[in-house]
Amino acid sequence: MTESEALARLTPRERRCLELVARHYDTGQIAAELGISVATVNGYLADARQKLGARNRKEAARMLGAMPVSPAETATSGTPIEDRGMFERVEPTPPARPPSAPQVEKGSGGWLSRLLHLERTTEPHRFGAGGRTLMIVGLVVALCAALAMSVVAAVGLVSIFASLRP
């Protein structure tokens, strides 16, 4: 089967996913752009790779971008002709929220959430390796200080009880 025959077998969704891969969108961004789940995007990309015989999604996107575009194909895919085959980085615009939707502030989970920094679970790479190392060292120092205070308190209690004995 020739490459053009394989490309003709792609569904419009598979084509659109490959076009977004060519624009350097990651799987989550593609899912948000198309309004589908990440698993569905992965399925479309896996099917497209299999149909094209590509080793990975980037190769499949290059194969799609290398093919000439006919006006009929542009009308069905919704992608302008001059946009196809471009491999430069295009940052997606965040989806607009409806005006009636309440704006939820990041980290607004309450005082306990802010105290324990639970909002960091949504941003695991917020701190670099140095920041994480400093946090670990800080936790170890705090644990040692707590242990030392416990020992001092225990020694104090033992001396108090020893002085109370006749």
- Whether 10 and 79 map to the same domain: the answer is yes
Identify the band that residue 131 occupies on the pLDDT scale cut at 50, 70 and 90. confident
For residues 23 and 86, the answer to whether their CB atoms sit within 8 Å is yes
Write down the pLDDT at residue 145. 96
In terms of pTM, does the model score above 0.85? no
Write down the pLDDT at residue 80. 44
Using DSSP, how many helices (H) and how many strands (E) does the chain show?
Answer: 8, 0
Tokens of 33: 């752009």
- Whether 69 and 8 map to the same domain: the answer is yes
Write down the pLDDT at residue 107. 46
What's the pLDDT tens digit per position in 64-88? 887 655 544 444 444 443 444 444 4
Cα distances (Å, whole numbers) of residue 60 to 12, 13, 75, 115: 14, 14, 21, 46
Tokens of 126: 């917020």
CATH code of the domain containing 57? 1.10.10.10
Asked if residue 136 is part of any domain, the answer here is yes
Residue 163 has pLDDT above 50, yes or no: yes
- Whether 9 and 77 map to the same domain: the answer is yes
Identify the band that residue 3 occupies on the pLDDT scale cut at 50, 70 and 90. confident
Asked if residue 95 is part of any domain, the answer here is no
End-of-domain residue from the set 83, 100, 116: 83
Write down the pLDDT at residue 87. 41
- Structural domains of the chain, count: 2
For residues 107 and 114, the answer to whether their CB atoms sit within 8 Å is yes
Query: How large is the average pLDDT for residues 105-133?
Result: 60
Asked if residue 116 is part of any domain, the answer here is no
Identify the band that residue 17 occupies on the pLDDT scale cut at 50, 70 and 90. very high
Write down the pLDDT at residue 81. 39
Tokens of 28: 């989550």
Query: How large is the average pLDDT for residues 46-58?
Result: 90
Angle formed at CA 92 by CA 88 and CA 95, multiple of 5 degrees: 170
